[in-house]
Amino acid sequence: MSRETISQSISIVHPISLSHGKNAEVWDTSGKRYIDFVGGIGVLNLGHCHPGVVEAIRDQATQLTHYAFNAAPHTPYIELMDRLTAFMPVDYPVSGMLTNSGAEAAENALKIVRGATGRTAVIAFDGAFHGRTLATLNLNGKVAPYKQKVGVLPGPVYHLPYPSADNGVTCAEALKAMDRLFSVEIDVNDVACFIIEPVQGEGGFLALDIEFAQALRRFCDENNILLIVDEIQSGFGRTGERFAFSRLEIEPDLILLGKSIAGGVPLGAVVGRKALMDNLPKGGLGGTYSGNPIACAAALATLDAMTDDHLKTWGLQQEEAIVSRYQTWCAQGLTPYLGRLTGVGAMRGIELANADGTPASKQLTQLLGLARDAGLLLMPSGKSRHIIRLLAPLTIEPAVLEEGLDILEACLKQLD
């Protein structure tokens, strides 16, 4: 099967061709089985082909495959927004809009905050990832490969250090950098919003410092700045709760959703304070495919499965298995390249580092190949591509999870 018709600017982590999958297992076109610790990069919290999601897609496809909601509303969109806004763990009135992706949700959030504040500047964070569209590129917290060769990006956007126990940046250091930013770079009165991930994904599964999150919320309130929280990868149970911002004990003004919102079908959303969501003129928000009926049906089935009891149980089971195995590897001295365990809940990263603490990027590349050959798919992350992202479905069977960790253990032993 030729790939000559596909842009060579698309980077491929695993040079295989998948044919089908079930929960946490996938098979390639040669029939080889893999345990999937990638999960579509956080899209498949309910696994491949979840029965409830598949049934909902089939049923909806026999009724209405598409209608542009801004031309004529349809029931799945209305039902989903009712359910989705009720699912958000905040105390204020919520409304929102559906999009085709997380990046599109971020783009629309920028329009919403500009309309509400009359300001244009955005503060983002080092290591961030918010999308690949032109405006979201500038929000991302690293240049290569996303910002290379594309010229001037929409702005103004400024970046601050991301404080986390996982990267060694303290709350005090981040606040000091923020003070410098507003003393040297930009007037605080020109800032429309901060945008931040409660757990960075691309950055290497770094959990945001709670003290900083609360200080940031207070700073935004004091200066009439809006706070956008990007839950595209961390949401829908990845950390053991509905959304990761709950552990920070703050309420964002706008929340970006995507990835696992619809069990593998393309869908995103931006939701938040109703007054903000309603501030643009009629027609200021919308889209042809946004909130496609089939995607909405899949999302409704996803919400059916994501009860608080399920999320807590799934998150704890996976967290305990990963942490226990990691601690055993450390005690055994499994490999000299085993670095820190990062993240929270079932959103975990394993760092590979050299003896001097520098990133062991070469060994991570080796690990990807060894694990794939042994039947395990892994995903890299981190600025130096030296952290493994563990994104197995929350619904993974315990025996399959242990089998995957066994493979990872055996491959870590082989690193040189």
**Residue for token pair 């032993």:** 413
Cis status, amide bond into 156, omega within 30 of 0: yes
Q: What percent of the chain has pLDDT over 90?
A: 90
Q: Around 224, how many Cα atoms within 13 Å sit in the side-chain half-sphere?
A: 8
Asked if pLDDT for residue 2 goes beyond 90, the answer is no
Q: What is the assigned CATH class of domain 53-305?
A: alpha beta
pLDDT tens column, 106-163: 999 999 999 999 999 999 999 999 998 888 888 888 787 878 877 776 789 999 999 9
Read off the pLDDT band of 98 (50, 70, 90). Answer: very high
pLDDT tens column, 310-351: 999 999 999 999 999 999 999 999 999 999 999 999 999 999
pLDDT tens column, 35-44: 999 999 999 9
The CATH number of the domain covering residues in 308-413: 3.90.1150.10
Asked if pLDDT for residue 266 goes beyond 80, the answer is yes
| pLDDT, average across residues 190-196 | 98
Asked if pLDDT for residue 1 goes beyond 60, the answer is no
pLDDT tens column, 273-304: 999 999 999 999 999 999 999 999 999 999 99
Q: Kindly list the domain boundaries of the chain, sorted by start residue.
A: 53-305, 308-413
In this chain, the answer to whether the domains covering 53-305 and 308-413 adopt an identical fold is no
Higher-pLDDT residue of 2 and 50 is 50
